[in-house]
Amino acid sequence: MDTEWRRLRSVLLHRPGEELARDGNPDERLMLAPIDLDRAQAQHDGLARAYQAAGVTVRYVTPDAAVPPNQLFCADLMLMTPEGAILGRPASPIRGGEERWVARRLADLGIPILKTIRGSGTFEGADAAWLDPSTVLLACGLRTNPEGARQVTALLSELGVTTLHTTSPPDTMHLMGQVRFLDDRRAITWPGRLSETGHAALADHGYEALVPPDPDELSRGMAMNLVTLAPAHVLMPAGNPHTQSFLEGLGVRCDTAAVDELTKAAGAIGCLTGILERDTS
């Protein structure tokens, strides 16, 4: 994988289990509100069906022991490259160990693990995005620290890939919450979140930065937390009519999946999805 927009072929998901419904302060569990597990599982199953309907193979992380409550957010736990995966290392102590289950599943699938972030480094895959097959945009902030970014940059350099660095504002968890790619020339951005460096990187690589019209849908509806299925074809959270209309007005086909129960865990479709494979041409 070396783009964010070519046809999607395979994804990695973790169907949430009892870890999502355990008692505890939602804030301490990095969540927004208590979650109805049955409803969350039904929505997760619906998300998998939406991928399958679009011709995407769904692989599952199925741990054989208790896992932390945020295990479902597979996007944070890996970054795919054309030669294999860079394994993430979550910044929050409560998420410690999530990456080992992804490592086991990648091994089962025969996908090489090129790098595991170590020492004082932290890195979450949602802080990185491919601008083109030879360039990655990487953000430091709450979840990826400078040491983690240094390790990722060094590995990508070995692959002949240039890393452009940016920073995330204090109220933004990931780069994923700042920019998403529709095709090889258009991206959507969240106003005030993507840095000047990030905007410059988009412009330098030929992207037009477009702004969805409804801030409330971006915030409460997580409308930008989508996955691109193919050029000008996305899978986005249902219940965001203004954003969907905006995208369709750009000629973008919008498939939707209901994830409003899952968003109580502080993430949506993009966060839930580990990208395993896209077409390379």
In terms of Cα–Cα distance, which of 188, 278, 171 is closest to 240? 188
* Domain edges within the chain: 8-278
What are the CA-CA distances from residue 147 to residues 87, 116, 134, 163 (Å)?
14, 13, 22, 14
Q: Which CATH architecture has domain 8-278?
A: 5-stranded Propeller (3.75)
Cα 95-100-105 angle, rounded to 5 deg = 125
The reported pLDDT for the residue numbered 31 is 74
For 110-119, b/e burial (b = at least 16 CB within 10 A) is ebeebbbbee
Longest alpha-carbon distance in the chain: 48
Question: The tokens of 57 are what?
Answer: 């193979």
Write the pLDDT tens digit of every residue in 54-96: 999 999 999 998 898 999 999 999 999 999 999 999 999 989 9
| Helix extents (H) in the chain | 37-53, 98-108, 146-158, 196-204, 215-219, 241-249, 269-272
Give pTM, 2 decimals: 0.96
**pLDDT tens per residue, range 227-274:** 999 999 999 999 999 999 999 999 999 999 999 999 999 999 999 999
Of how many residues is the chain composed? 281
Reported as a pLDDT band with limits 50, 70 and 90, residue 23 is low
Cα–Cα distances (Å) from 131 to 6, 89, 156, 211, in that order, read 12, 22, 13, 18
H/E stretch holding 162 reads strand 162-167
Q: DSSP letter for 75, please.
A: G
pLDDT digits 0-9 by tens, 89-131: 999 998 999 999 999 999 999 999 999 999 999 999 999 999 9
The dihedrals phi and psi of 153, each to the nearest 5 degrees, come to -60, -40
